């Protein structure tokens, strides 16, 4: 059996990931979000507020009997309020960093600790963004938290490679980790972007045009691309990548 832990499964890419995986009866999906929109015999939901550090810290991964694969997909994320620094409330900053960076870091730490001695294909997929590499006005929290997630992923990958060089520590297969940007996708986040104020976001017209010109990816199609790529996991040579680079 293959086990997939996915955050943010109530909508968008996270829901598309779960629904895609559930087409295969050998997959079992564990979703984590504040709402549940999936009903399936191979789906289990944890009502989890990923902006609540204590709730995330209390979450426990389960030890599964002889799994073939165990995945953690840190998908949940938010732009937060689209405003320049100086116009944000302190709690907004804390909440955004918690969801986009602290929660994935806590879950990754617990995931590695739990499955450290499990002999299976163990993979962590962090959903990145082109914003991690491009400064966009009004998106300071999103850009910086996604950049932090990319670097976090690269460090974890480096640690796993160091561990692999020590035979006594490498009795079981190590972990693979990737930070993969999906491109612009037709989700609620895009709706939020298009409703931003021109005063606070100079690129508003660009994102309106993505929608008008049908340039937004479909979540189902993007999900299929992710798992097509992950099915050839040994062909991925970098940690921080964009899905379009492997189409």
- Alpha-carbon span 152 to 137, nearest angstrom: 23
Q: Which residues of 125-135 are buried (b: 16+ CB within 10 A; e: fewer)?
A: bbbbbebbeee
Distance CA 172, CA 177 (A): 16
Dihedral in degrees, nearest 10, Cα atoms 9, 13, 16, 20: -100
Rounded distance, CA 190 to CA 143, Å? 15
Q: Which residue in the list 43, 142, 226, 246 is annotated as catalytic?
A: 142
- Among 98, 83, 71, residue whose Cα is nearest residue 4: 71
Q: Which of 22, 18, 2 is nearest to 10 (CA)?
A: 18
**C-beta separation of 160 from 154 below 8 A:** no
Q: How many CB atoms lie within 10 A of CB 159?
A: 14
The span from the CA of 3 to the CA of 29, in Å, is: 6
- Nearest alpha-carbon partner for 64 in 92, 102, 30: 30
Closest CA to 15 of 95, 73, 80, 91: 73
Task: Count CB atoms within 10 A of the CB of residue 23.
Answer: 8
142 is catalytic: yes
**What are the residue numbers of the active site?**
142
């Amino acid at each position: 059996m293959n086990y997939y832990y996915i955050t943010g499964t109530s909508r968008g890419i996270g829901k598309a990931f779960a629904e895609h995986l559930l087409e295969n009866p050998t997959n079992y999906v564990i979703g984590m979000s504040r709402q549940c929109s999936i009903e399936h015999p191979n789906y289990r939901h944890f009502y989890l507020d990923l902006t609540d550090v204590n709730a995330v810290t209390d979450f426990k991964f389960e030890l599964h009997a002889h799994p073939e694969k165990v995945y953690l997909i840190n998908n949940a994320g938010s732009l937060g309020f689209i405003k320049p620094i100086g116009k944000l409330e302190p709690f907004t900053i804390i909440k955004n960093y918690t969801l986009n960076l602290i929660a994935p870091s806590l879950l990754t730490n617990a995931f590695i600790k739990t499955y450290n001695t499990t002999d299976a294909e163990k993979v962590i997929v962090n959903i990145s963004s082109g914003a991690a590499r491009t400064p966009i006005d009004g998106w300071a929290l999103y850009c910086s938290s996604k950049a932090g997630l990319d670097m976090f992923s690269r460090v974890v990958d480096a640690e796993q490679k160091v561990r692999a060089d020590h035979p006594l520590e490498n009795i079981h297969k190590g972990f693979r980790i990737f930070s993969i940007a999906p491109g612009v996708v037709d989700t609620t986040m895009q709706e939020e972007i298009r409703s931003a104020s021109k005063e606070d976001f100079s690129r508003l017209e660009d994102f309106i045009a993505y929608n008008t010109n049908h340039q937004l990816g479909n979540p189902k199609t993007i999900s299929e691309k992710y798992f097509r790529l992950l099915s050839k996991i040994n062909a991925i040579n970098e940690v921080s990548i964009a899905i379009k680079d492997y189409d």
